Structure 1
Amino acid sequence: MGRYFPLFVDLEGKKVVVVGAGTIAERRIRTLLGFGARITVIAPEAVDQIQTLAAEKELVWRREAWSGAAEELLPGSVFVLTAVDDPAVNGAVWRACKARGIPVNRADDRSRCDFYFPGVAEGGGVTVGVTAGGKNHRLAREVTEKLKKWLAEI
């Protein structure tokens, strides 16, 4: 796999679809909300934090499993994240996005990602995205946390 170019994108008011509503999806959703994304979550069940965000109208939660009808929610998305515990569902989402030319991040298979979801550190007017190329999430998380502490001091 090649190297990925870091790119900063204006998400304010832009549509992002997240398939899945577990802890990985919840972390990513919170990050995206901080950048003003309009998020639609597709999942029959959700962790408490996502249920609360939906109740507070911070996102739209479609309480349904991935299906052909759910695919109709993809057009207009800047990108799609899929983080479901079922590789068959993640694969179906990936194929639907590829057919529509929508960039997709598949949490269970880095070889099927058009982009990696970075660790994000902000402070002092600076935003930093951190990735270890999808290979070492622990290292990326540690570097992100160190950067957050350092940026808080400037």
Structure 2
Amino acid sequence: MKKYFPVFIDLSNKDVLVVGGGKIAYRKIKTLLDYGATIEVISPQIVEKKIQILFEEKKISLTLREFKEEDINNRFLIVGATDDKELNKKIYELGNSKNILVNNITTKEDLNARFCAVHRGEDFQVAISTNEGNPKRALELKNKIIKGLEK
């Protein structure tokens, strides 16, 4: 099992690529936008209409086509958010070979960066991840922490 080092990273104006146009891609995009990333989405089609709205609002750039290997060049972070496990694995392998952070939504193995369950308070931020990369368990713990803070 891989060990993931917990770290908080300034994403302000960092070049991030999201490959995919569905609901999970949208959730990842929203999170990345909250932290100031500059995002390009590449997908042959947009299934989640909210992604199109973000493009129309000029919050992201959008390229409607299949992913190409050269799309990873000069990226800080890549999110493989397609429903194609093999494509997401290929994206991971390409990015990892160039020391680029890669989050892959379809596996717990073929990635080198995880998104955490996050709670941002006024004076602090708590991020939670599980050793096995189980987002549901991390979310459960985050919700327990929030309830404890509200007491």
TM-score normalised to structure 2 length = 0.89
Retained in 2: the 8 A contact 1:122–1:148?
no
Q: What percent identity do the matched residue pairs reach?
A: 34
- The alignment status of 1:31 with 2:35, answered yes or no, reads no
The 1:150–1:56 alpha-carbon spacing in structure 2 relative to 1, beyond 3 Å, is farther
Give, in whole Å, the separation in 2 of the partners of 1:150 and 1:76: 42
Distance 1:35 1:89, change over 3 A: same
The root-mean-square deviation of aligned C-alpha atoms, in Å, is 1.9
Which position in structure 2 is the counterpart of 1:106?
A: 104
Letter in 2 for 1:31: T
* 1:42 equivalent in structure 2: 42
Identify if the C-alpha distance between structure 1 residues 7 and 24 changes in structure 2 by more than 3 Å, giving closer, same or farther: same
Question: CA separation of 1:30/1:149 partners in 2, compared to 1, >3 Å: closer, same or farther?
Answer: farther
Q: 1:150 to 1:32 in 2, by over 3 A?
A: farther
How far the C-alpha of 1:20 sits from its partner, in A, is 0.9
Aligned structure 1 segments of 4 or more residues deviating by more than 4 angstroms: 148-151
Answer yes or no: is 1:129 the counterpart of 2:127: yes
In the alignment, structure 2 segments of 5+ residues that lack a partner are: none
Q: Normalising to structure 1: TM-score of the pair? A: 0.87
Matches within 5 A, 1:51-70: 51-67=52-68
Q: Give the gaps of 5 or more residues in structure 1.
A: none
Give the count of matched residue pairs.
150
Moved more, 36-45 or 138-147: 138-147
**Contact 1:116-1:133 at 8 Å conserved across structures:** no
Cα deviation, residue 110, structure 1: 1.1
